[in-house]
Amino acid sequence: MGRDLFDLTGRVIVITGGLGQLGRQYTQALRQAGARVAVWDLSLPPRPQDDEGVFYQQADVTDRASLTAALEELTRRWDTPHGLINNAALDSPPNAPAQENGPFETYPEDSWDRVMAVNAKGVFLTCQVVGGAMARAGRGSIVNVCSIYGLVSPDQGIYEYRRRRGETFYKPVAYSASKSALLNLTRYLATYWAGAGVRVNTLTLGGVFNHQDPEFLEAYCARVPLGRMAREDEYNGAVIFLLSDASSYMTGSNLVIDGGWTAW
């Protein structure tokens, strides 16, 4: 029998923002594929599950020293990473202050700085630290997690239900700008590290069901050709593919999984 192209046995994978909704899914899927997973997040879980193949580490993607310390600890414990998922991200939540979800003309500068620091600078720094180590080791795969709003503008009509309530609400600009930045960071690094054996790809995702406001869900799902948001486990296969030998000739690409959102 031929080898399993999707087998990740023994490989060390770093996930930033690993305690989030999708980060937890990726961790579980990677473990099932045989990988050892370093979960990097701002905080540590209060009661980590007993799994020798998961290593929880406190790391701040906006702080190079924090990332370097986490990598050094991980390398001492296991090995130089074989893969990196840049999953950590910040967005303005629906219940953010009114000014943050208000018109573009008055969008707060400090909100822009916070989002860009995590979503763009954070990926840049993590790629420098972890990607650089992988390049020195002569192998690796990086997955930069993007969003449909990095490809196309948010459909502000989805939020019309909030305006009917008397709110002034717009999907803010910083998240879109930060996610679109990842597309060319990916292309840059894919060509820069190609000779070092490090592949770099973007994974662009649509919305994930998380018990959102029923009116939002109705408006969002009506905009998706498949008629629904993604389940939280529906991106796992793409992550395994991008980190495994199944995608060995793929670099500098953008894999879009959005239920057809960007096909309209």
Q: Is 221 exposed, middle or buried (0-12, 13-18, 19+ CB in 10 A)?
A: middle
Q: Are 113 and 177 in contact (CB under 8 A)?
A: no
| Residue 201: φ, ψ to 5° | -135, 160
Q: Known catalytic residues? A: 175
Which residues sit opposite 39 in a β-bridge? 15, 56
DSSP string, 11-25: -EEEEETTTSHHHHH
How is residue 192 written in tokens? Answer: 């820069």
Report the candidate in 59, 103, 107 with the shortest Cα–Cα distance to residue 84: 59
